[in-house]
Amino acid sequence: MKVAVVGATGLVGTEMLKVLAERNFPVTELLPVASARSVGQEIEFRGQKYKVVSLDDAIAARPAVAIFSAGGAISLQEAPRFAAVGTVVIDNSSAWRMDPTKKLVVPEINAHTLTADDKIIANPNCSTIQLVVALNELHKKYKAERIVVSTYQSVTGTGKQAVDQLMQERAGQTASNPAYPHRIDLNVLPHIDVFQDNGYTKEEMKMVLETKKIFGDDSIRLTATTVRVPVMGGHSEAVNVEFAQEFDLEDVRELLRQTEGVELVDDVQNNVYPMPQDAHGRDAVLVGRLRRDETQPKTLNMWVVADNLRKGAATNAVQIAEVMLKMGLLKD
């Protein structure tokens, strides 16, 4: 199958290539796409060298699927051009997520909604993906009514510029091209993406709106505070969820053990709980620190960790392609 990866030289694009190889996706011809200055450079995929091509060349090649991680502006402009030649686009930016004509897909939850007419499919925000995967079976059984989430998000979510800033600051240097308005090493920034008129950041509102769309439930009340921390390799979330139905903690644990994509990591007597360093390089969403909220009934506290470049971006996108292939919705 002919596959294009748009943004192939970025952090997420590089991870997408790695995941495609690891999961043995049937790539017969790879079309790595990057900025004009990168055209002609070589990248390696499954032991072969491939030259970076332009968007126009990739579209002319009519790939079966194009996985995008090149930013919203590129996605808005170029995804329809790929779709017009019959290519299925899976887009990792925020460009199409809240478009009512586009599906927002986490395969474990709503892949069944995909059809042959879906030519542009949105990959959700990284922090939203791990939240909904962790809550999916619990929401089905107990119905989540209200969710309060605070995130602790890795600098890798911002990109290479942010990683460079952290490493330079950690080495005692002044960042040459900082990604953030403040120091990130030995600091935390309660500021991810731009502030909105309501005082929340765009990242916080993404979590609110995307969760409702993925679950197909506008009645869920969710409020978020998203925070950038000097960590590489994973996002963490403190989640407080109020259910409509009462629950038993052991039943919750068993449901999480059975939840696709989730690994229960919850043995506090032995200091075992999810940490970003344990999620790094893995696809599982790690869940632990399960306990009742003692201030009100039917409310659970949990701690959720996942690698934001993998399940939060690359792996989820490749999983969408895998499901579409299995459903017969990808044609070479």
pLDDT digits (tens, 9 = 90+) for 192-233: 999 999 999 999 999 999 999 999 999 999 999 999 999 998
Q: Are residues 159 and 275 in the same domain?
A: yes
Same-domain check for residues 317 and 298: no
The arithmetic mean of pLDDT across residues 125-147, rounded, is 98
d(CA 240, CA 243): 10
Q: Mean pLDDT across the stretch 77-88?
A: 98
Across the range 262-269, mean pLDDT stands at: 98
Q: Which of 126, 139, 191, 280 is catalytic?
A: 126
- 3-class secondary-structure state, position 295: coil
pLDDT of 148 strictly over 90: yes
CB-CB contact of 261 with 133 (8 Å):
yes
Give pLDDT, residue 43: 95
Mark the binding-site residues for NADP(+), compressed into ranges: 9-12, 37-38, 178, 308
Is residue 271 one of the residues assigned to a domain?
yes
Clarify whether residues 18 and 165 are in a common domain.
Answer: no
- pLDDT (0 to 100) of residue 120: 98
| Burial profile 76-100: b = 16 or more Cβ within 10 angstroms, e = fewer | eebbeebeeeebbbbbbbbbbbeee
CB 55 within 8 A of CB 77: no
CATH number at residue 35: 3.40.50.720
Same domain for 96 and 158, yes or no, is no
Please state, in angstroms and rounded to a whole number, the distance separating the CA atoms of residues 34 and 203.
25
Count up the domains in the chain and report the number: 2
Q: What is the mean predicted confidence (pLDDT) over 66-75?
A: 96
Residues 156 and 196 in one domain: yes
139 counts as catalytic: no
Q: What is the mean pLDDT of residues 108-126?
A: 97
Percent of the chain whose pLDDT exceeds 90: 98
> Looking at 112, 191, 235, 280, which residue is catalytic?
235
Say whether both 105 and 188 belong to one domain: no
Tell me the average pLDDT across 278-289: 97
Answer yes or no: is pLDDT of 332 > 80: no
Three-state DSSP state, 279: helix
Examine the domain organization and report whether 213 and 183 are in the same domain. Answer: yes
Q: Edge to edge, what strands does the sheet with 29-33 contain?
A: 29-33, 2-6, 65-68, 88-91, 120-122, 103-104
Domain check: are 198 and 115 in the same one? no
Residue ranges at the known binding site: 9-12, 37-38, 97, 153, 178, 228, 308
Q: In the prediction, which pLDDT does 331 show?
A: 80
Annotated catalytic, 182? no
Compute the mean pLDDT over every residue in the chain, rounded to the nearest whole number. 97
**Residue 61 is part of which domain span?**
2-124+313-326
Q: Tell me the CATH number at 285.
A: 3.30.360.10
> What integer pLDDT is reported at residue 95 of this predicted model?
97
* Residues flagged as binding site for substrate: 153, 228
Kind plus residue range of the DSSP H or E element containing 113? none
Percent of the chain with pLDDT over 70: 100
- Band of residue 135 on the pLDDT scale cut at 50, 70, 90: very high
- Whether 237 and 131 have beta carbons less than 8 Å apart is answered as yes
Maximal CA-CA distance, the chain: 60
Pair (120, 134) in one structural domain: no
Mean pLDDT of all residues in 242-257: 98
